[in-house]
Structure 1
Amino acid sequence: MTRRTTLLRNLSIVALLIAALLQVCGALTVSPRPEPVSAGGLAPEEVHAGAARGIVDRLQGHYRQMRFDDSLSEKVFNRYLRDLDPNRVYFLASDVAAFDRYRLLLDDQLRRGDLSAGFDIFNLYQQRVGERLEYLLARLDEGLDSLSFDGSDSVLLDRSEQPWASSEEDMDDIWERRLKNAVLTMRLDGVKDEEILTRLERRYSSQLNRVQQNASEDVFQIYINALTQTFDPHTSYFTPHTSENFNISMSRSLEGIGAVLQAEDEYTKVVRLVPGGPAAKAGQLKSADRIVGVGQEDDEMVNVIGWRLDEVVNLIRGPKGTEVRLEIIPAGSASEHSTREITIERNKVMLEEQAAKKQIIEIPGTNDSVERIGVIRIPAFYLDFDAYNRGEPDYTSTTRDVARLLQELNDEEPAIDGLVIDLRNNGGGSLHEATQLVSLFIGGGPTVQVRDARGRVQVERDKVPGTLYSGPMAVLVNRFSASASEIFAGAMQDYGRAIIIGDHTFGKGTVQTLLPLGHGQLKLTQAKFYRVSGSSNQNLGIVPDIEMPYLIDKEDIGESALPNALPWDKIDATAYTPQFNLTPYLPSLRELHDQRLAVNPEFIYVREQLVLLEEQRQKESVSLNEEERRSEQEAFEVRRLAIENTRRKAVGEEPLKDMAALRALDEQRSLDPENEMGDSDKPDPYLQETGAVLADLVRLLQNRQVANSEGKTAQE
């Protein structure tokens, strides 16, 4: 064999090996980019590709440990479509079929920093939104008389699980019904047709103008967050601008209304109110309300449907002493067009306004006895980090304030018989303070476990010897008690130190870290909290020993309501010694509690309202026949008025004459929020009932001590 023949044969073998290798390792080849569905429009900037690759790299450290494969690609694809068109009222079925070419390609593209699929989908979305808004404006140009309200038509309230419209005609029908519902809702609220026309034209024109102002940065943020929030709802990408807003919101120099907001579908939703903030003090804004308009003092209201969260925040934020007007859809409202306007004066959220406070309530007992119950209300777990890190001896902290209040309660004459720690609406704060607060009541031991993405578990411990209070305790919580509040409540429950009373807590049991990027930053979930018993706080929250009814929709508020929330799970318990076993007392406490709630007018009122609200929530569609709709509303209002007047009669108040009086009362209630620390004339029924449960426990414990003492004497 000649040297040349040998060389040719070797080259052939190498070629065959390369071909085989390429066939087996198809990932070495770059798939051709599919032709875009829509022409022109927005395109990614050069900096976005690098940021995307950096985000993909850092997501490898997420607690969930998801692989970048076809399964993830499909999840991101579905999430992106849901984020853009949650109610399936913009994309046609043919659009979604055209997008299907991207379904299994997104993982590969994102790893390379290729954002073409996300921008292609968004460009068509933007076109479709514009078409729909132009359709609505054209119909309004024809006048409201062109709309018929005497047929048998109805409108679906939730189309998220409905098929995509198959044609332009089907889409026109969907939007015709939505327009008629908007008009009818406003008519039933007493708005005149001329004003309805003006409001709707202003709203749709504003939305159309906003859609046309979208920039590449907007698309990048929306698309990348479809990726990050496929991992969990607390993992988020912040552009440089939104990073700045996030950092400002973390500082105490923020001047605004004191509300935590999030983007949900096309709306800005209120997650919770900051204790001590202007919104919490005013009492008009509630969790789960949706903000659809923002106005400055006497300026015209600006419609913010479809706006980015940071843009809405910028409108709401402003100098101390100025007023901001908000148009909101109240939580639980059956229609997005049933709105009301509120005004809040901006101010700073001061640390001292979040400070713990104390009071004493007296609970009547048997034989003219009275149980004195100390109450410490903790709005947030706060710590002056700067002063703490500088080693200043008088730094401000939750634990220090509570310790001082406990000492004051311990010095009371006569002494308190029990203690309530009120954590309602406490959204968390410093983990350090939560664990330190536990140390005031357990006298040594572990307080919480933290598990990272690699499965390593770190145990936080009580490093302070002794206890400041060892008597009977209760912890009062609600759905807005989250994070650090859940760590404290869980420890008190596991150690048997307190009865947990109220509602299922929020269920936020994850730990996030801010990671800088070359372009913006990434908030990444890297760990989970676990109780000393091994149970996670995540998703499930803290389940109270004694439950009370609240007018809160758990399908709308809480970790379990968030898409892709990490699940509840359990790890091994750490070594700890429960200090008391309250379980044997719970059946008696629940029985006495249920007997009181069965005759308590305030809780009867709450339960009847819950039934009414649940009926409304279960409605899948509403009639577009004006006469029928008015009849339904009147029936609803008759029931509401009856529920209100039953409560008023039971507590000795004058019944209301009609719905106009009830609406006026609702407005008055929003302007004069109930003071939860008992400074107002009206007692807090939840706090009073918590005190009653704790008083029951005190008496049961006393009876047990008497029985044990008598038994011991008999034996002697």
Structure 2
Amino acid sequence: MIPTLRLARKYTSVFIALFTAISLAIFSAFAADQNLERKLEDLSPTLQQAIASVNIYQSLSKNHYRKLPLDQKHADKVFQRYLDRLDPNRSFFLKKDIDEFQRYREKLASSLKSGDLKPAFEIFNRYRKRAGDRARYLLARVDKGIGGINLKTDAELVIDRKDSPWLPDEKAQRELWDLQLKDSILSLKLNNKTDEEVIEQLKRRNTNLLRRLHQSKSEDAFQTYINAFTSIFDPHTQYFSPQTAENFDINMSLSLEGIGAVLQSEDEYTKVVSVVPGGPADLAGQLKPGDKIVSVAQGKGKLEDVVGMRLDDVVKLIRGKKKTLVRLEVIPGASKSQTTRVYEIVRDKVKLEEQDASSKIIEVKDKGVTRKIGIIEIPTFYIDFRAAQAGDPNYKSTTRDVRKLIAALKKEKIDGLVIDLRANGGGSLQEANELTGLFIGKGPTVVVRDSRGRMEKQEDPDPKLLYDGPLAVMVDRLSASASEIFAGAIQDYGRGIVIGSQTYGKGTVQSIQPLNHGQLKLTLAKFYRVSGQSTQNQGVLPDISYPSLYETRDIGENKLPDALPWDTINPVKFQRFGDLSAFFPQLDKKHKQRTKNNPDFVYLNEMKDYLSRYENKTKVSLNEEKRRLEIQSMRSQRLAIENRLRKAKGEELLNNLDELEEAEQANADNKDKKKEADAFVMEAGAILNDLIRLKKQATKPAQAA
């Protein structure tokens, strides 16, 4: 950036000012680059961090749901988890480093108890040195140009090296870095970058990494180390530094103007953890959990490479004033080819009205009979706590809104009701409890068990049964927490049928505890269904299953390391409405017959097979021609799948996948399109209609022969 110059005298020439400004800019850039060449200064722990680490150890030992003795076995796990967080792909540390660190591993348990952070910081400083060596090595290689780099080799790169042996020496280290450089070059070239653009982007990427290493603070080392410790208890127990805690509070209040996505660092990338319902990214309909952000652009400006950049710096680039455009270049989570896509998102605040429950009516025709099926979509379990505590009679909540929607649907004389909880990540436990009460009349809805084994039942506060008609609940892999409590209760009571795919499996309760330095989020309790089954890890299994694209992805509680296990307690007393399981075989048979040739279900199964073929790849070719042919094959297969769907629906066929991206963006912008019932909602209505008919047949009196 050219600094603003104040002219000493009015008659100073424009030429001199311009020349001085340019000279200063060049000098600043040169000085910055020279600054990156200096030796990385070692980081040291602070007294506040040492005190915080002791507080964290004591709090986890006393209060966490899972009681873990900090013996050598668990200290070994912390040690390995710390190394994995610093060097997940085993590209930096050498075997001699790991051998040297063994002396710390043997004393790690006592170090954690006493607040001795020196071992953790020495390991972190070694990581920074090795990562700096790699960045400088790659910069030197790229500085010579990429024309001489052999991209006609038959070599392959192992994508995931987490189980590979540590590199034996510097020679093996450089050989790996050369392979990784070739992969980066190929990824950029195959995304239509010229050689000059490839060189520029790789220089910027590795300079970013060097800059990030120089900008590292003691808090980075402390947070990484402490979270390696907290993670052995369960994946939701986490330490937040003062800065991270501030960002967490902002995300929870949904008050910041941005895109509405939760991000985290993974290796050198910024990864999408989740997309906030009702946020700009959710409404755009393109960004998905697991996507990796590689570049960010303001408006229609130039994309800025963010690989190797600090997470907080990436977040600053993505945040901005509402109604402004941000473009994200991402590697889709399902892609192993590193092929990128560019998504356009208009920044805004998360609109609470976009999270409101909404309803529509679909019609299902069956043997000359047309039945009306009400659909209520609930994106999240929300409540305006402040308004409710202030005594506002019109405060908003999921249950209050659903009451009104059901009343309106009853006036339309619906024959059945579907509650759509797909992609509903949860929210207020109070709302899950009260919403369940609208359909069961009275009784328990969920049991909460704390770390001491004490049980507390959540009871329906209102004995009135608002809706007693045929009911179905739609769920998918992204339905979690409060959604699982509701779906599990409906299933246990025999009140309705659950349709979709296995839910996420988030059945634990967390609490935020302030520390002398930052905050600790720790797991205090588990949820159990009234039948005694935990919702943790396993989630809710549907009665009638839909195919799911998430089955092959690392999404779900059971994919997370050290997740608390599924277990059971004694069931509590509750009054079942009946047993619907006798109808499931017939319902499933009819569902499969109906969807066998349904274009949307055929498409979903084809996409599932397509993704599973490429997601399970462990290596990528470093031969440009071979890699190009592989990508062309992948794209042609994807295009064929898309066109088979479009042909079946009588839509215009696509010439290439670029047209698909344009069509997806147009659909995301089309509000009327979003209001239409999708094929999976229509099928849920058809399944519920089958249940209505089968139940009527079952209650008909037997006729005399």
Q: What's the TM-score once normalised by structure 2's chain length?
A: 0.91
- The question of whether the paired residues in 1 share the 8 Å contact of 2:212 and 2:310 is answered with no
- The question of whether the paired residues in 2 share the 8 Å contact of 1:377 and 1:423 is answered with yes
Write the distance in 1 (CA, Å) between the matches of 2:677 and 2:430. Answer: 33
Write the distance in 2 (CA, Å) between the matches of 1:513 and 1:348. Answer: 26
- How much has 1:306 moved relative to structure 2? 4.3
- The question of whether the paired residues in 2 share the 8 Å contact of 1:678 and 1:684 is answered with no
- How much has 1:560 moved relative to structure 2? 1.5
Determine if the alignment matches structure 1 residue 673 to structure 2 residue 668: yes
- The question of whether the paired residues in 2 share the 8 Å contact of 1:376 and 1:420 is answered with yes
Q: Which residue of 2 aligns with 1:694?
A: 688
Determine if the alignment matches structure 1 residue 442 to structure 2 residue 436: no
Q: Which residue of 1 aligns with 2:504?
A: 506
Q: Secondary structure at the match of 1:347?
A: coil
Q: Which residue of 1 aligns with 2:23?
A: none
Larger radius of gyration: 1
- How much has 1:197 moved relative to structure 2? 1.6
Percent identical pairs in the alignment equals 51
- The question of whether the paired residues in 1 share the 8 Å contact of 2:442 and 2:463 is answered with yes
- How much has 1:345 moved relative to structure 2? 1.7
Q: Which residue of 2 aligns with 1:633?
A: 631
- 1:311-326 → structure 2 map (5 Å cutoff): 311-326=313-328
- The question of whether the paired residues in 2 share the 8 Å contact of 1:356 and 1:376 is answered with yes
Q: Which 10-residue stretch deviates more, 191-200 or 82-91? A: 191-200
- How much has 1:218 moved relative to structure 2? 1.1
- How much has 1:455 moved relative to structure 2? 0.9
Distance 1:110 1:421, change over 3 A: same
- How much has 1:525 moved relative to structure 2? 0.5
Q: Which residue of 1 aligns with 2:20?
A: none
Write the distance in 1 (CA, Å) between the matches of 2:243 and 2:617. Answer: 40
- How much has 1:619 moved relative to structure 2? 1.4
- The question of whether the paired residues in 1 share the 8 Å contact of 2:473 and 2:497 is answered with yes
- The question of whether the paired residues in 2 share the 8 Å contact of 1:207 and 1:303 is answered with no
- How much has 1:690 moved relative to structure 2? 0.8
Write the distance in 2 (CA, Å) between the matches of 1:410 and 1:287. Answer: 37
Write the distance in 1 (CA, Å) between the matches of 2:672 and 2:694. Answer: 27
- How much has 1:553 moved relative to structure 2? 4.3
Q: Which 10-residue stretch deviates more, 471-480 or 560-569? A: 560-569
Write the distance in 1 (CA, Å) between the matches of 2:551 and 2:148. Answer: 38
- The question of whether the paired residues in 1 share the 8 Å contact of 2:234 and 2:563 is answered with yes
- The question of whether the paired residues in 1 share the 8 Å contact of 2:667 and 2:673 is answered with no
Distance 1:448 1:263, change over 3 A: farther
- How much has 1:710 moved relative to structure 2? 3.8
Deviations 1:17-47 (A, max 9, x none): xxxxxxxxxxxxxxxxxxxxx9961110121
Structure 1 residue corresponding to 2:423, chosen from 391, 413, 425 = 425
Q: Which 10-residue stretch deviates more, 182-191 or 536-545? A: 182-191
Q: Which residue of 2 aligns with 1:619?
A: 617
Structure 2 residue corresponding to 1:481, chosen from 479, 483, 505 = 479
Write the distance in 1 (CA, Å) between the matches of 2:87 and 2:554. Answer: 19
Q: Which residue of 2 aligns with 1:201?
A: 203
Q: Secondary structure at the match of 2:417?
A: strand
Distance 1:562 1:262, change over 3 A: farther
Deviations 1:444-491 (A, max 9, x none): 110000010111111111120121111111101111111111110010
- 1:245-264 → structure 2 map (5 Å cutoff): 245-264=247-266
Write the distance in 1 (CA, Å) between the matches of 2:679 and 2:236. Answer: 34
Q: Which residue of 1 aligns with 2:366?
A: 365
- 1:281-320 → structure 2 map (5 Å cutoff): 281-297=283-299, 301-320=303-322
- The question of whether the paired residues in 2 share the 8 Å contact of 1:282 and 1:671 is answered with no
Q: Secondary structure at the match of 1:594?
A: helix
Aligned AA for 1:105?
K
Determine if the alignment matches structure 1 residue 684 to structure 2 residue 678: yes
- How much has 1:88 moved relative to structure 2? 0.6
Write the distance in 1 (CA, Å) between the matches of 2:211 and 2:251. Answer: 28
Aligned AA for 1:289?
D
- How much has 1:681 moved relative to structure 2? 8.5
Q: Which 10-residue stretch deviates more, 647-656 or 484-493? A: 647-656
- The question of whether the paired residues in 2 share the 8 Å contact of 1:71 and 1:104 is answered with no
Aligned AA for 1:288?
G
- How much has 1:321 moved relative to structure 2? 2.3
Q: Secondary structure at the match of 1:324?
A: strand
Paired residue total: 666
Determine if the alignment matches structure 1 residue 356 to structure 2 residue 357: yes
Write the distance in 1 (CA, Å) between the matches of 2:117 and 2:675. Answer: 60
Q: Which 10-residue stretch deviates more, 49-58 or 313-322? A: 313-322
- 1:387-426 → structure 2 map (5 Å cutoff): 387-412=387-412, 415-426=413-424
Deviations 1:78-113 (A, max 9, x none): 000000011111111111111111113112112111
- The question of whether the paired residues in 1 share the 8 Å contact of 2:242 and 2:519 is answered with yes
Write the distance in 2 (CA, Å) between the matches of 1:683 and 1:537. Answer: 29
Distance 1:268 1:374, change over 3 A: same
Write the distance in 2 (CA, Å) between the matches of 1:626 and 1:481. Answer: 41
- How much has 1:375 moved relative to structure 2? 0.4
State the Cα RMSD in Å: 2.0
Q: Which residue of 1 aligns with 2:14?
A: none
- The question of whether the paired residues in 1 share the 8 Å contact of 2:206 and 2:308 is answered with no
Write the distance in 2 (CA, Å) between the matches of 1:663 and 1:397. Answer: 41
- The question of whether the paired residues in 2 share the 8 Å contact of 1:272 and 1:480 is answered with no
Distance 1:263 1:64, change over 3 A: farther
Deviations 1:231-262 (A, max 9, x none): 11111111111111111222142222111233
Q: Secondary structure at the match of 1:529?
A: strand
Deviations 1:160-204 (A, max 9, x none): 111111111111111111111121222233322222222221111
- The question of whether the paired residues in 2 share the 8 Å contact of 1:236 and 1:524 is answered with yes
Distance 1:467 1:308, change over 3 A: farther
Q: Which residue of 2 aligns with 1:192?
A: 194
- 1:375-390 → structure 2 map (5 Å cutoff): 375-390=375-390
Q: Which residue of 1 aligns with 2:115?
A: 113
Q: Which residue of 2 aligns with 1:3?
A: none
Q: Which 10-residue stretch deviates more, 490-499 or 547-556? A: 547-556
Write the distance in 2 (CA, Å) between the matches of 1:440 and 1:301. Answer: 50
Write the distance in 2 (CA, Å) between the matches of 1:699 and 1:268. Answer: 51
Q: Which 10-residue stretch deviates more, 293-302 or 54-63? A: 293-302
Unpaired segments ≥5 residues, structure 1: 1-37
Write the distance in 1 (CA, Å) between the matches of 2:565 and 2:206. Answer: 40
Q: Secondary structure at the match of 1:512?
A: strand
Structure 2 residue corresponding to 1:225, chosen from 220, 224, 227 = 227
Q: Which 10-residue stretch deviates more, 154-163 or 324-333? A: 324-333
Q: Which 10-residue stretch deviates more, 387-396 or 208-217? A: 387-396
Determine if the alignment matches structure 1 residue 139 to structure 2 residue 141: yes
Q: Secondary structure at the match of 2:401?
A: helix
Q: Secondary structure at the match of 1:89?
A: coil
- The question of whether the paired residues in 1 share the 8 Å contact of 2:668 and 2:674 is answered with no
- 1:577-592 → structure 2 map (5 Å cutoff): 577-592=575-590
Write the distance in 1 (CA, Å) between the matches of 2:531 and 2:310. Answer: 42
Q: Secondary structure at the match of 1:144?
A: coil
- The question of whether the paired residues in 2 share the 8 Å contact of 1:207 and 1:304 is answered with no
Write the distance in 2 (CA, Å) between the matches of 1:475 and 1:316. Answer: 36
Q: Secondary structure at the match of 2:364?
A: strand
- How much has 1:679 moved relative to structure 2? 4.5
Write the distance in 2 (CA, Å) between the matches of 1:482 and 1:290. Answer: 23
- The question of whether the paired residues in 2 share the 8 Å contact of 1:532 and 1:573 is answered with yes
- How much has 1:344 moved relative to structure 2? 1.7
Q: Which 10-residue stretch deviates more, 510-519 or 241-250? A: 241-250
Structure 2 residue corresponding to 1:497, chosen from 495, 511, 516 = 495
Deviations 1:24-82 (A, max 9, x none): xxxxxxxxxxxxxx996111012111111111111111111111221121110000000
Distance 1:318 1:358, change over 3 A: same
Q: Which residue of 2 aligns with 1:172?
A: 174
Write the distance in 1 (CA, Å) between the matches of 2:460 and 2:376. Answer: 21
Aligned AA for 1:606?
L
Deviations 1:642-682 (A, max 9, x none): 2222222222233334xxx222213431452387x975586
Q: Secondary structure at the match of 1:608?
A: helix
